[in-house]
Structure 1
Amino acid sequence: MAKKRYRPNVAAIVLSSDYPKNVRFLIAARTDVEDSWQFPQGGIDKGETPKEALLRELKEEIGTDEVEIIAEYPEWVSYDFPKTIAKKMYPFDGQTQKYFLVRLKPGAKINLDTKDPEFSAYKFVSYPELFNYVTFFKRPVYKKVLEYFKKEGYV
């Protein structure tokens, strides 16, 4: 069997600006997949560091890069695309992601009306609510990463 190919990617777990008083996570609904909610994420361009990609992707996807990086997950986490998505993402079989926990700076404005809108809506949700929205194939990775941040005392 051929070796799987994973697209290098960054993912942002965005906390509201009233963190740590309230722990609420930003999730957004994709424009291209109905009822598919997720954290902002995106590919790492050639020559770009994960942190540079994080800030660029946040600006492109939620219209602001006004965040404070709180922590990063120590490892890269990989997942496979479901068959329905794999066709669109060829030649990649999945993604390998670097997760960052970030807090919106006070006054940062989210604007989904970007050059190429990827999201149609967003909301801030609590940890238990998160899993009522997030698309099924991302849940195990989100759970693993969030459990780590929880254990480390960040969320």
Structure 2
Amino acid sequence: MTRYEDLPYRTCVGMMLINAEGLVFIGRRSGGIEHVDDTHVWQMPQGGVDPGEDTWTAAKRELYEETSVRSVEKIAEISEWLIYDIPRTVAGRAWKGRYRGQRQKWYAVRFTGQDNEIDVASPGGGHKAEFTSWRWEPMQNLPDLIVPFKRPVYERVVKEFASLAVPLRKPVIGG
């Protein structure tokens, strides 16, 4: 068996989906051995990059496979890869013991569709649902909702994309 220190990182992408109100999509994970409680089960869409696949192409594919969303425009990306290690206690069980964590390329995208486009129960391409529910959340709240070992990555993503969490349209006042 390969030592934990010698395991590679899984190449992945992450997507921060921002709506017109400046809020961010988060999904409640349907499961996972890394989840420790009911508070830290939320995350943004993310997933693996196929061999030879461009990271932007992978990001759009993963977003569709997890949320059914296609109505997006790219507004930013983090130039370097962000890395996290999974706890040693779950490393042998996650991803069949092949990886010690992930190296992720992160993108921020503006959601240009309507909320009814989002379907986490029957996501695009016939993929198995990874989320049981979803909601829009203020960006600054995200690090407190993710499993603790991913928190430094989420803090960095929030810092990099903080200026993008602004409403595109003014709220209607009165009635």
Give percent identity, aligned residues only: 34
- Which of 111, 117, 128 is 1:104 aligned to? 111
The structure that has the greater radius of gyration is: 2
CA distance in 2, matches of 1:130, 1:51: 22
Aligned pairs for 1:33-112 (under 5 A) are 33=32, 35=38, 36-86=41-91, 87-89=93-95, 90-107=97-114, 109-112=117-120
Q: Structure 1 pair 142/49, CA: closer, same or farther in 2 (3 Å)?
A: same
- Over the aligned positions, Cα root-mean-square deviation in angstroms equals 1.7
**141-150 vs 43-52, greater mean Cα deviation:** 141-150
> Could you say which residue in structure 1 is the equivalent of 2:136?
124
Aligned partner letter, 2:12? N
> Could you say which residue in structure 1 is the equivalent of 2:24?
25
Equivalent residue of 1:134, what SS?
coil
Aligned partner letter, 2:111? L
1:122-147 Cα deviation digits (max 9, x unpaired): 11111233234222121111111221
Give the length in aligned residue pairs: 149
Runs (4+) of structure 1 exceeding 4 A deviation are: none
CA distance in 2, matches of 1:12, 1:24: 13
> Could you say which residue in structure 1 is the equivalent of 2:173?
none
CA distance in 2, matches of 1:106, 1:154: 17
> Could you say which residue in structure 1 is the equivalent of 2:12?
9
Q: TM-score with structure 2 length normalisation?
A: 0.78
CA distance in 2, matches of 1:80, 1:105: 33
CA distance in 2, matches of 1:97, 1:28: 18
CA distance in 2, matches of 1:41, 1:48: 15
Q: Structure 1 pair 84/143, CA: closer, same or farther in 2 (3 Å)?
A: same
Q: Which runs of 5+ in 2 are unaligned?
A: 166-175
> Could you say which residue in structure 1 is the equivalent of 2:147?
135
Q: Which runs of 5+ in 1 are unaligned?
A: none
Q: TM-score with structure 1 length normalisation?
A: 0.87
**27-36 vs 43-52, greater mean Cα deviation:** 27-36
CA distance in 2, matches of 1:84, 1:15: 34
Equivalent residue of 2:80, what SS?
coil
